[in-house]
Structure 1
Amino acid sequence: MGIIAWIVLGLLAGMIAKMLVPGRDGHGLVITTLIGIAGALLGGFLASRVFHVAGVQGFFNLSTWVCAIAGAAVLLVAYHLVARNGGRSYRRR
């Protein structure tokens, strides 16, 4: 699968993951797209290794989409956990 297909897959997977993961959304479309692309790459890589999906047919395979959405959701949850503190320190004044 080409890089453009992974970007499109990542954009869509990020948007779907954003709908599935509860919580306040303090980020916009750019962060969602980047998280989705990273999740799609991770999920697509795992799908190609686990389900043996290869080539251009991998874009239309359901297992690739499920893994891409799951990868994006995991990364989105991790982002929420890191961004929850908003860069504040743990010291109290």
Structure 2
Amino acid sequence: MGLIWTVLVTLALGLVIGFLGKVVAPGDRDNIPLWLTVLCGVGGAFVGTYLYYAVFGVADGYARGDMYDTSRGLDWWRHLWQVGTAAVLVMIAATVTGRAARRS
């Protein structure tokens, strides 16, 4: 049962972060499909978390010391890094798939 919840939470997180990445991405990036938005969101969550951990490390006093213990409480800065990374991935996906807005 734990694996099913992990997959569902990861997809929900990917959906939210992917849509936020679409909003933050400059230009008209709404042309990519939903599945690619979720994929960009999941990628943004993992890559953004890893980059934040690589730059700032873990919070003092945590025994585990993994990349999810970067601060005490809810880490808004880490989530901003995730959304920013998702925005970059959305721009890359729109460019690679040829779905970026064309300017005449």
TM over 0.5: yes
TM-score (norm 1): 0.70
Label 1:24 to 1:36 Cα distance change in 2 as closer, same or farther (>3 A).
closer
CA distance in 2, matches of 1:42, 1:10: 12
- 1:44 matched to 2:49: yes
Structure 2: gaps of 5 or more residues:
1-5, 59-66, 100-104
- 1:84 matched to 2:69: no
Q: After the TM superposition, which segments of 4 or more aligned residues of structure 1 sit over 3 Å from their partners?
A: 3-9, 53-59
- Alignment coverage as a number of residue pairs: 84
Q: Larger % of helix: which?
A: 1
Label 1:24 to 1:49 Cα distance change in 2 as closer, same or farther (>3 A).
closer
Q: Offset at 1:10? A: 2.8
How large is the Cα RMSD of the aligned pairs? 2.7
Structure 1: gaps of 5 or more residues:
86-93
> Is the 1:6–1:37 Cα contact (8 Å) retained in structure 2?
yes
Question: Where does residue 75 of structure 1 map in the other structure?
Answer: 89
